Amino acid sequence: MTGARPIRLALLVALLVVTGTATPASATGTMDVPPWTGVEIGIADQKPNMFLDSRFLALGIRHARLAVGWDVLTDRRSAAELESWLAHAKESGVEPLISFMHSRGRHRRALPTPLRMRREFLRLRKLYPWVKTYATWNEANHCGEPLCHRPKTAAAYYRELRRACPTCTILAPEVLDMPNMAEWVRQFSRHLGFTPRLWGLHNYVEANRFRTSRLRQLVRATRGAEIWLTEVGGLVRRDNNSRTRIPEGPRHAGRVTRFIFDELVPRNPEITRVYLYHWNSSSRKDSWDSALITPGGRERTGFRVLSRVLRLGPRPLRSFRKPRAR
The average pLDDT across 253-281 equals 96
Mean pLDDT of the chain: 88
SS (H, E, C) 180-230: CHHHHHHHHHHHHCCCCCEEEEECHHHHHCCCCHHHHHHHHHCCCCEEEEE
Whether 118 is covered by a domain: the verdict is yes
Structure confidence at residue 1 as a pLDDT band (50, 70, 90): very low
Task: For residue range 109-136, list pLDDT tens digits in order.
Answer: 899 999 999 999 999 999 999 999 999 9
Using left for φ > 0, alpha for ψ between -120 and 50, and beta otherwise, residue 210 falls in: left
Whether 20 is covered by a domain: the verdict is no
Q: What is the DSSP letter of 315?
A: P
Report the C-alpha gap between 304 and 13 in whole angstroms: 12
Whether 179 is covered by a domain: the verdict is yes
Residue % of the chain over a pLDDT of 70? 86
Whether 282 is covered by a domain: the verdict is yes
| Predicted local distance difference test score (pLDDT) of residue 321 | 63
- How big is the chain, counted in residues? 326
Neighbours of 283 (CB within 10 A): 8
The answer to whether residue 294 scores a pLDDT higher than 70 is yes
Q: Write down the H helix ranges in the chain.
A: 5-19, 54-59, 76-91, 114-127, 151-164, 181-192, 204-208, 213-221, 250-259, 265-267, 301-312
The average pLDDT across 128-148 equals 97
Tally of domains within the chain: 1
**CA angle in degrees (0–180, nearest 5) for 118-120-126:** 100
The answer to which of 26-30, 167-171, 306-310 has the lowest mean pLDDT is 26-30
The answer to which of 217-226, 278-287, 289-298, 300-309 has the lowest mean pLDDT is 278-287
Whether 271 is covered by a domain: the verdict is yes
Whether 181 is covered by a domain: the verdict is yes
Q: Which CATH number do you get for residue 296?
A: 3.20.20.80
The average pLDDT across 286-308 equals 95
| Predicted local distance difference test score (pLDDT) of residue 30 | 37
| Predicted local distance difference test score (pLDDT) of residue 324 | 57
Structure confidence at residue 323 as a pLDDT band (50, 70, 90): low
Q: What is the CA radius of gyration of the chain?
A: 19
| Predicted local distance difference test score (pLDDT) of residue 239 | 84
The average pLDDT across 85-107 equals 94
Which residues constitute the domain of residue 142? Answer: 33-312
| Predicted local distance difference test score (pLDDT) of residue 29 | 36
Whether 21 is covered by a domain: the verdict is no
The average pLDDT across 20-31 equals 37
Whether 106 is covered by a domain: the verdict is yes
| Predicted local distance difference test score (pLDDT) of residue 248 | 94
